Amino acid sequence: MKHLVTVLFITLLAIISCNSNNSEKKPEYVLVIHGGAGTILRENLSPEKEEAYINKLNEALLAGENILKMGGSSLDAITEAILIMENSPLFNAGKGAVFSEEGIVEMDASIMDGRSTEAGSVAGVHTIKNPILAARAVMENSKHVLLTGDGADSFAGKQGLEIVDSSYFFTVDRWKSYKKAKAENEIKKYGTVGAVALDSYGNLAAGTSTGGMTYKMKGRVGDSPIIGAGTYADNSTCAVSATGHGEFFIRNVVAYDISALMKYKELSLKEAADYVILNKLKNIGGSGGIIAVDHEGNYTMTFNTPGMYRGVVTSSGLIDVKIFGETEQ
């Protein structure tokens, strides 16, 4: 009897220790961001430009982390991180948005709350300084999920969001890219920005913002504002933000597909992301990548292109920013 009690006591200690270890391993919060994926090669990026990207990605990460560290929500953290990137001409979103075939910006953005699976998005907007704020306003202050064009611009203005003249979005580099694409009569794929987060309350959130493709057809909408394609969040699985050739991400419902593989096939986050991005998408010619975090704090930054502007910060003290493929880091 004494031996049995000893065995039970040791077993109980082992269980307590195991649970303690697991809780220690799970981070209190995680924030992952991206600034677009594509043919990003070291030889095509000057040291000064590389440093600028790294500094801005770090700024976005730290801005979002400050919110999470103070007990803020994943929604607020991803919004703040995306705002930093939208306000920078380095990225194809907000200030740095590319030009359509008509020589104007047509921006898209979306956001999703993993706790309630509520979502909001805008597409083809022209005058909203920060489309991610408009997407959030649609989610929180309207009965709809997606607003487009003039209707979305008007709604944003009524919500008190900053409306700017189209000249605000003009940058020399983007205009040169537009003129080149027009001369060659060729649409050029460009980047996106996005963020996903897990907060200390266990809630997930995801957001994505983009200017789309250079010299894209008037009215073209990519995956970024499409819930399930470019953005998805569900507390029971994961939060995902995508970047890449939007038509392929729409056709394959990439963000939701990763969540569904976790929910219905019980794959891990990494297994699901690797299958969708490195296998399913790549095999049909779809280029791009995703960032994602699951409800346990596991995260991935998976892409099938030469590079992806990306970064992660966690409550354990990890902060890591990268641009190129692993072999080029």
Q: Catalytic residue positions?
A: 192
Q: Which two tokens stand for residue 28?
A: 């209190």
| Gap between the Cα atoms of 123 and 286, Å rounded | 22
Give which of 316, 82, 297, 60 is closest to 201, Cα–Cα.
297
Count the neighbouring beta carbons within 10 Å of the beta carbon of residue 156: 25
DSSP string for 238-286:
EEEEEEE-HHHHHHTTHHHHHHHHHHHS---HHHHHIIIIIIIIHHTT-
Q: Which two tokens stand for residue 168?
A: 């605000």
| Gap between the Cα atoms of 146 and 80, Å rounded | 21
| Gap between the Cα atoms of 132 and 195, Å rounded | 11
Give which of 168, 169, 147, 166 is closest to 158, Cα–Cα.
147
Q: How far is CA 175 from the centre of its chain?
A: 25
Contacts of 197 (CB under 8 A, 6+ apart): 29, 30, 31, 32, 64, 68, 74, 77, 78, 81, 204, 205, 239, 293
153 contacts 130 by C-beta, under 8 angstroms: no
Beta bridge partners of 195: 33, 207
CA within 13 Å, CB half, 319: 13
Polymer length of the chain: 329
210 contacts 195 by C-beta, under 8 angstroms: no
Count the neighbouring beta carbons within 10 Å of the beta carbon of residue 258: 30
